[in-house]
Amino acid sequence: MEWRTRWYITIRWDRADNSPTGVTVLERVVDSPADLRRLIERARADPHVVAFPYRSTRELVGDEPTECHNGHGYAGGSATRPIRGWWPCRCGGHLILQCRDCADVRVEPAVDLGCDARERQARRRPQR
């Protein structure tokens, strides 16, 4: 799992007839600054576009781990399902999974140097 930045842009035309898609509002999601730049350049070049607000957001992407560091599976009933927690952090936050078999703690995404949850990782563990 990792945090990724995505951009949401809403392009508005003065009339549906002037839009390439036949609608007055088109919402798009892009995953790179280059893709966002291309959409903005096209919107600026179109005299019928009246607005194109956009915003960035960070989203947690990737598959959740299926087993602890010691190989115990997380899938199953309440006896094997991990204890879940969440550490808020300036990076977006961290999912905490504690194995029920061996009490191994897994932090996803990994705590990095820029994370303010680093100290919490050493002090706290999810409660059973």
CA atoms within 13 A on the CB side of 51: 7
DSSP structure class, residue 101: T
The reported pTM is: 0.63
Instruction: Yes or no: say if 108 and 64 are a contact pair by the CB < 8 Å rule.
Output: yes
Q: How far is CA 54 from the centre of its chain?
A: 17
Domain boundaries, the chain: 2-60, 64-128
Residues paired with residue 54 on neighbouring β-strands, in sequence order: 9
Helix (H, G, I), strand (E, B) or coil at 74: coil
CB 87 within 8 A of CB 120: yes
The pair phi, psi for residue 2, each rounded to 5°, is -155, 160
Please tell me the predicted confidence (pLDDT) of residue 30.
Answer: 96
User: What pLDDT is recorded for position 118?
Assistant: 56
124 C-beta neighbours (distance < 10 Å), count: 13
58-71 residue pLDDT tens: 888 888 888 999 99
Residues lower than pLDDT 50 in the chain: 126, 128
